[in-house]
């Protein structure tokens, strides 16, 4: 039971990291567009 919860938390954390990187790259490209 506990291992299943840990697996779910791990996958959620991984998804959040990917979403965070995606947001960061979007913000970076947006600020880059504003600079030029």
Kindly state the DSSP code that residue 1 receives in the 8-state scheme.
Answer: -
Render each residue's pLDDT in the chain as its tens digit; 36 residues. Answer: 678 777 877 777 777 888 888 888 988 888 887 766
How many structural domains does the chain have?
1
Say how many Å lie between the first and final Cα of the chain, rounded.
53
Indicate whether 36 belongs to any domain.
Answer: no
Indicate whether 11 belongs to any domain.
Answer: yes
Which pTM value belongs to this model? 0.47
Domain that holds residue 27: 1-31
């Amino acid at each position: 039971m506990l291992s299943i919860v840990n697996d779910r938390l791990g996958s959620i954390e991984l998804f959040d990291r990917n979403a965070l990187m995606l947001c960061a790259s979007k913000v970076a490209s947006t600020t880059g567009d504003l600079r030029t």
